[in-house]
Structures are given as C-alpha cells and as structure tokens.
C-alpha cells in the first residue's frame, strides 16, 4: 500500500473513532452556526485535529486545506503535497443521530489528486483509491455500475442551502426532470459518501450544486479510479468546483443532457 494512503487511512479511522464516541453525547455537544443550515460541532473540530496531527507527525512539511481550519502549512513556494480534509461530512445528520456521515481525505500532489479515503465510521466501510491503482472498498476492487441510460437508473443529489439558495428554482427544475426520467433520486445528506456509492455501483450517478473542495476531493478520485466520469454541469472539466456531475459513463452523458436546460446562468461558463 502507498505510504501516503496508509497514513490517510490511519487518520480517517482515528477521526472516525472520535465521531462515534461523540454520538454518545450528541445532545450535549457545543454547536455553532456558520450559516443558514450550516453547523459545526466540537466533534468536527476534534476529528479534524486528529487527522491533521496524524498526518503532521509523519509529514510535517505537507500543507492542509480543511473545512474547519482552512489552509495551513502553505509556503510561498507552494507545497508539493496538499491534504484536503472534511473531518465530518454530514454534520447535520450526525447531530440528529441520522447514521449517514463520513470522513473524507484527499491528497493532492502538485495540484493533481493522488490518493483518496472516504470512511463511514458507522458501517466501518473504508473506500480508498490511489491514482492508476483502482478503487477499493475494504480492500476489494470496486467498479461503477454497468447501467446504460437514465431509465431505471438511481441518482444521488444534494439540496441547495446556505449561500446557494439563489439556485433553488433551477435545482427544482433539475429534480423534476430527473424524477420523471429515472427510477428515483436519493438525498442522504453526505456528498462524500454519495460519491463513494457511485464508485461502488450503489448509485448510477450524482449531481449537486454549491459544494466545497473538501466535499468532493476524495470522492471524485474514487469514481474515476472505479471507471466512472466526473465533470461540471456545463460539461467542462471538474477542478474541485462548486457544481458536479458524476456517474457511470453510459448514465453520465444522458444525465448531463437532461440537466442542461436547467443549469443556472452563473454556472454555464
């Protein structure tokens, strides 16, 4: 196993232990609001610190982009390695005891994603990938579904909230179109896990607006290493942008076409 991936796995598992312990006192946790329907708990910050400390002990020269603490360790010469971290993707679910949340860790080298870990501490499922080496779930190779076309396809998504409520009307048009053309839509509330589920063939495709790099960094590598496709709603290349479409190749293209008439003007370029 790649040394960097091994450290990422260690860090994710330690963060997962912190999260699970926090479930026993979820109603007593200190919680603050970052924005509308956007919460951060003390468990988020503790799990993030656990990840950064685990990595920093082995790689003190590496830089970080983390949801709660932002950028750290970046030098004027730009660090070769950047760890992109979401310590608890699905905080709202966690705070309600809804068991759909995960730790997400992506490792970039010179701007290219090289390693990915998404860890579900409740199911103890570990999704991993290294560039050129495929994607795995608990050590077994995974591939995107071979499904063809939108009919009978199961599609994942996430609802607009926080600062992207301006896109709500456009999103409702997208959701209506997808509901009419597919077997159904799922919105569990943790984008990192949704993307991992695409990689594992549990979902045929996924789309969402208003995401952050730490939501998708690991999941996108999982999908491409599992044989899937990732891009933007405008059909362009995905570079940790706020909007994303991903899926198995024979569902990805028709989903893009279906969504195209409803894409907000601000996301078309």
Reported as a pLDDT band with limits 50, 70 and 90, residue 253 is very high
Residues 6+ apart with CB under 8 A from 132: 225
- In order of their start, the domains of the chain are 3-142 (3.30.540.10), 154-263 (3.40.190.80)
Look up the pTM and report it: 0.93
> What are the tens digits of pLDDT across the range 92-107?
899 888 999 999 999 9
Question: By percentage, how much of the chain surpasses pLDDT 70?
Answer: 90
Query: Length of the chain, please?
Result: 269
- Report angle CA 190, 110, 11 to the nearest 5 degrees: 45
> What are the tens digits of pLDDT across the range 124-164?
999 999 999 999 999 999 999 999 999 999 999 998 776 56
- Per-residue pLDDT at 251: 98
Sign of CA dihedral 67, 62, 104, 156: positive
The mean per-residue pLDDT over the stretch 225-248 comes to: 96
């Amino acid at each position: 196993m790649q040394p960097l991936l091994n450290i990422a796995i260690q860090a994710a598992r330690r963060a997962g232990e912190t999260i699970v312990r926090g479930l026993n006192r979820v109603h007593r946790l200190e919680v603050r609001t970052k924005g509308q329907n956007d919460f951060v708990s003390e468990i988020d910050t503790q799990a993030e610190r656990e990840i950064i400390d685990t990595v920093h002990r082995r790689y003190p020269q590496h830089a970080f982009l983390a949801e709660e603490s932002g950028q750290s360790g970046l030098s004027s010469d730009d660090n070769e390695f950047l760890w992109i971290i979401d310590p608890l993707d699905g905080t709202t679910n966690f705070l309600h005891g809804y068991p759909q949340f995960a730790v997400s860790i992506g490792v970039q080298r010179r701007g290219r994603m090289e390693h990915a870990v998404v860890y579900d501490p409740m199911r103890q499922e570990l999704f991993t990938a290294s560039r050129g080496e495929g994607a795995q779930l608990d050590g077994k190779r995974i591939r995107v579904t071979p499904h063809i076309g939108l009919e009978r396809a199961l599609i994942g998504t996430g609802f607009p909230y926080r600062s992207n409520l301006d896109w709500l009307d456009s999103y409702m048009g997208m959701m209506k179109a997808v509901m009419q053309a597919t077997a159904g839509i799922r919105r569990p509330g943790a984008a990192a896990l949704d993307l991992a589920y695409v990689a594992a063939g549990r979902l045929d495709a996924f789309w969402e607006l208003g995401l952050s790099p730490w939501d998708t960094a690991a999941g996108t590598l999982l999908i491409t290493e599992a044989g899937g496709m990732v891009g933007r709603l405008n059909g362009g290349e995905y570079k940790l942008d706020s909007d994303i479409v991903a899926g198995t190749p024979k569902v990805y293209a028709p989903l893009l076409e279906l969504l195209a008439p409803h894409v907000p003007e601000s996301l078309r370029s």
